[in-house]
Chain A
Amino acid sequence: MNGQGLIKGLGITLKHFFQKEITEQYPDVMPELAPRFRGCLQFEFEKCIACGICVNSCPNDVLSFETEKSENSKKKKLLSYTIDFQYCMFCNLCVEGCPKDCLHFDHDFELSTFSRDDIKRVYLRPAEMDEEEEVETASMQDEQENKEQNKIEAMSKALQKNPAKILAQVLEQEEDIKILSELVQESEKTALKMAELLVKDKEKAAKVAAGFVTKEKKNRLQAEKGGEE
C-alpha cells in the first residue's frame, strides 16, 4: 500500500514495453489457422446426390437446392444448390451429416462483401456435367453389361460344378433338379442360358427351368418308347 502498488504496476508495464509484440500482423501476415478451422462453406456439385440431409440438419435454413427428376433414370438431378451465408452459423452440422462429403469448410474467413446479393452463393449445374452424364450413362451401361456378363459366366461355372444347390432356388422337386443338373452338366449352352436367366430374372428362370425339365422328361419318355418299339 501507499504507492507500492502503483510502482509495481508501473514496473509491469515497463517490462512489457520492451517485450515483443503479441499481435498478429494481419493482413500483411495471414494468421496460421488450425486444420479444423471453419472459414467458408464450400460445395462440390459433382459429388452431391441431392439427398437433402444437409438441408434437414441445418438449424437456420441456410441451405436449399432444386432438383429435377429426369425421365430415363430414377436418379434425381440436382439443378442448383444455394448457400445463404447471411444466416450461416458455421456450426458444421451439415458437413457432419453429408454422406458424400460434398460439403466442407475451407480456411477462407474473409467473407465480407460489398452487396447484400453477394452473400448468397448459388451453385448452378455446370454444363459439362450434363455432357459428362450422357457419356457416363453410356459407359455405365457398358460397364453394367460387362458386370452382368461376368456374373453370368461365374454362375454358369458354378452351375456346372454344383448344380443341385443352385437349381434348388428355382425347382422344387428333387427329381426335376436331378434331371436339370444332368442337362446342365452335359451341355454348356444350357448351362449358360440357365445362368443368364438366374442372374437376370429368377421367376423367368423358374419357368424356363420347368420347361427344360418337362421337355427332357418328354424326350426321355419318347426315348424309352422308341427303345421299346
Chain B
Amino acid sequence: MMQSDIYTVNVGPIHPSTHGGLHAEAVMDGEIIQDVIVHLGYVHRSVEKIAESKTYQQFVPYTARLDYLATNLPVLGYCQTVEKLLGIQVPERAEYIRVIMAELSRIASHQIAIAATGIDLGATTGLMYGMRDRERIMNIFEMTGGQRLLSSYIRIGGVAADIPKEFIPVVRSFAHDIPLMIDEYNGLMTGNEIWAARMQGVGILSLEDAVKYGVTGPNLRASGIAYDIRKAEPYGIYDRFDFDIPVGSRGDSLDRWKVRIEELRQSGRIIEQALDNLPEGEITARVPKVLKPEPGIEVYHRIESAKGELGYYIVSDGGKKPYRLHVRAPSFINLMVLPLVCRGGVFQDIITNIATLDPILGESDR
C-alpha cells in the first residue's frame, strides 16, 4: 500500500488564471482535490463604506468599478435603485439606450469569460478571438461614453449623453455578427474533443445545491432552471423584449460554458429589438442637483448582471448621502460553491471551475 500525504497548493493570489486576486488554497491528495479554501479580500476597497461618504451622484463611477468587465451593468443596477428610492421616471429613449448598453456589457463580460476560459485551458488562440470581438464593444463604449472600460455612461435619471449618430449602424452590425462569432468559438473550442473532455462532468453543480448556495446567473441556469431576473422580475423595460433563457442540464463546466455562449445570441436579439424600437426624445429625466430621498426609506433592487443577481440595498436617512449601501455581489456568492464543485476532481479542474464559474474579483471583494 502506498503512503500518501495531504498537502496544500496555493493557487493565487498571484497566479496566471485566478482572474484577479483570488486565492484558492487547494488541499490535495496527489492530484485529487480534497478541499479548496477560498481566501478573498485582495481587492477589497470597502466600497460600501465609501458610499456612505459620497453623494448619490458621486457614487456612480464607483459602481462601474465593481464588475469592471461588464461596466454598465452595476451602474445600471445602482442608478435604478436610486431612481426607485426617489421615484424618478426615466425617459423612454434613455431606457432603450440603457438596455442596449447593458446587453453590450453582458456580451463583453461573457466574451471575457470565453476568452479567459480559453487561455485557462491552454487554448491561447481562443483568448485572442474573444478579445478581438470584445474590442468592437469597447469601441462602441468609447464612442458613447468616452471611456473604453469604465465609462460610467448610465447616470441617475437617464444616460450621460445622447448616442452619436454612427452608433446605430455600428451596434447593428455588431449584433448581426454575433452568430458568426459564436460559430467561431464553437468551432475552435466547444466542438473540440479535448475541450469537451476537459469540461464534461467537471465541477458538477446540482440544481438543489445551486439554489441552496444562492448561485445565480448563467451558473444557476446551467444547472437546469430558467431563472433570469430579466424575466422573473423585469426591471426597466425588459418585459418588452422577446428572448429565450438558455438552460443547461447537468450543471457541469461544459453546460456553464454553453449557456454563456448561447446568452451572447440572446443578448444580440435584445439589442436588435431595442434598436428597432428606439424612440426619439429626452435622454435624461429632470433630476435635482442634490438628491435627497425621504428619510427612513429603503429599497432592495436587483438586476440580472452578467454574473448573476446583482442587488443593491440602500437605506436613506434623508441626507444627500446614502445612510447604508450594501451590494449583493453575484461573484461573491457564486464563488462560495468553488470548494463544492472542485472536491474530488483533479488539480487542473480547479482552473476549469474558476474559469467557468466566471467570478470577478472587483465585485466579490468590493
Are A and B bound to each other?
yes
Q: Which residues of A pack against B, CB within 8 Å?
A: 1-6, 8-9, 11-13, 16, 22, 33-38, 57-59, 89-93, 96, 105
Determine whether the beta carbon of B139 is less than 8 Å from that of A89.
Answer: no
Contact between chains at B143 and A34 (CB < 8 Å): yes
Interface of A is mostly: loop
Note all chain A residues with C-beta closer than 8 A to B192: 5-6, 8-9
Contact with B142, one of A3, A12, A36, A58 (Cβ below 8 angstroms): A36
Q: Secondary structure of the B side of the interface?
A: helix
Complex interface: chain A residues within 8 A of B144 (CB): 36
Chain B residues near A89 (CB-CB < 8 A): 61-62, 65, 150, 152
Q: Which A residues touch B129, using CB under 8 A?
A: 16
Number of A-B residue pairs, CB cutoff 8 Å, is 79
Decide yes or no whether B5 CB sits under 8 A from chain A: no
Interface residues of B (CB under 8 A from A): 54, 57-62, 64-65, 125, 129, 132, 135, 139, 142-147, 150, 152, 160-161, 164, 184, 187-189, 191-196
- Report whether B160 and A92 are in contact in the complex, using a CB–CB cutoff of 8 Å: yes
Nearest CB in chain A: distance from B355 CB, A: 18
Given contacts A2-B193, A13-B125, contact A93 B142 (CB under 8 A): no
* 9 further interface pairs, Cβ-Cβ under 8 Å (given A57-B58, A59-B59): A2-B193, A8-B192, A38-B146, A59-B62, A89-B61, A89-B62, A90-B147, A90-B150, A105-B146
Beta-carbon contact of B160 and A9 below 8 Å: no
Complex contacts, A90 vs chain B, CB 8 Å: 146-147, 150
Given A9-B192, A13-B188, A36-B164: A93 in contact with B57 (beta carbons within 8 A): yes
- Sample 26 A-B pairs with CB under 8 A, ordered by A number: A2-B193, A5-B191, A5-B193, A5-B196, A6-B193, A8-B192, A13-B188, A22-B132, A33-B142, A34-B143, A36-B142, A36-B164, A37-B142, A59-B54, A59-B58, A89-B61, A89-B150, A89-B152, A91-B60, A91-B64, A92-B146, A92-B160, A93-B57, A93-B58, A93-B61, A96-B160
Q: How far is the CB of B152 from chain A (nearest CB, A)?
A: 5
Bound-state CA distance A36–B147 (Å) is: 8
Q: In the docked arrangement, what's the CA distance between A57 and B142, Å?
A: 22
Does B196 contact A36, Cβ atoms closer than 8 Å? no
Residue contact A36 to B188, C-beta cutoff 8 Å: no
Closest to A59 in B: B58
Nearest CB on B from A63, distance (A): 13
Q: Is the CB of B196 within 8 A of A38?
A: no
Q: How far is the CA of A65 from the CA of B58 in the complex (A)?
A: 19
Are B62 and A12 neighbours in the complex by a CB distance under 8 Å? no
Please give the distance in Å from B58's CB to the nearest CB on chain A: 4
Bound Cα distance from A47 to B195, whole angstroms: 61
Q: How far is the CB of B65 from chain A (nearest CB, A)?
A: 8
